[in-house]
Structure 1
Amino acid sequence: MRQIVLISIPALAACAPQAPVADDFIPDYLGVQTTALGEDLVQFNVSMTKAQSRLDVQRYAECAAAHYTVVRGYGFTRHLRTIVTEEGGVWAADAVYTISPTLPDGLAVIDAEVTAQACMEAGIPTV
């Protein structure tokens, strides 16, 4: 004897993967923790959700570093290192920068005022 199984259209729709919506691509910035490691050495721990890649969370840390540098009355920051992790959809970065009133040596030098302004225009929070 054959059995016929009827499945309703709404039940099938519930099993189908949902198409992404615009909100899935708008980052949720969860905050910045700043720790001075020395007179000119600063650590920034940032976290966020809805990052599209590790570059998003690295940029968030850079924005925090730029703002911190400007607030302290310095003009430049230099990137030393960033460690990025992702767990359960929460991205985190542990970044270390030096801050300087004058242009420091190195390849990863950031003009803090220009970068902080660009972050503001891009909607990336800096505190």
Structure 2
Amino acid sequence: MQTGLFPLMLLALAGGAAGCVPEGQGMSAQSAFKPSYMGVETRLLDSDLVNFVVQMQGARGQDDVANYAECAAAQYTLIRGYGFARHVRTNVAQEGGVWRADAVYTISPALPRGVQTIDAEVVVAHCTNEGIPTV
């Protein structure tokens, strides 16, 4: 009878341990993420080449501010009547608690060549779900 309980006790212990998260991580850290999106500056560099400069506070790192720039690029792509964009480059910097991304994208009506392409409608929908503002 004890041999039947031992695997169950191990399972219970493993299940309890799997739910353990070190303090400062997990749901409480995620709920503490309260970014402040400070706007987008858009510069048309050529007919299909666009520069986006975004700023925000409260970013958890470079990815948050780069995602904000991608959201702006996706919405701008739709505004121009196109469906796709290709990421060219993003430079990210932080100064005094303000994160800044300077990103360049090409926009096009058809899926461009390259590996860093985005479907603007899909990205805008994702940004909306994540609460990231667009242009």
Quickly name the TM-score band, shorter chain normalised.
Answer: 0.7 to 0.9
The match for 1:117 among 122, 125, 128 is 125
- Residue ranges of structure 1 left out of the alignment (5+ in a row): 1-18
Q: 1:105 aligns with which of 82, 105, 113?
A: 113
C-alpha separation in 2, matches of 1:50 and 1:87: 12
Shift of 1:103: 0.7
Tell me what 2:8 maps to. Answer: none
Match of 2:38 among 16, 30, 38: 30
* CA 24–78 in structure 1, closer or farther in 2 if over 3 Å, else same: same
Task: Flag the structure with higher helix content.
Answer: 2
Confirm or deny: 8 A CA contact 1:24 1:50 kept in the other structure: no
Question: What residue ranges of structure 2 are gaps of 5+ in the alignment?
Answer: 1-23
Structure 2 residue 65 is the aligned partner of structure 1 residue 57: yes
Count of residue pairs brought into register by the alignment: 109
Q: Does residue 91 in structure 1 map to residue 91 in structure 2? A: no
The TM-score with structure 2 as length reference comes to: 0.77
Aligned AA (2:85) = T
Distance 2:29 2:111 in 1: 43
The AA in structure 1 aligned to 2:129 is: E
% identity of equivalent residues = 58
| TM-superposition CA deviations, 1:34-67 (whole Å, max 9, x none) | 0000000000000000000100000000000000
Cα-Cα RMSD: 1.7
Secondary structure class of the residue paired with 1:67: helix
Aligned partners of 2:63, 2:30: CA distance in 1, in Å?
A: 19
| Shift in Å, 1:25 | 1.9
Q: TM-score, normalised by structure 1?
A: 0.81
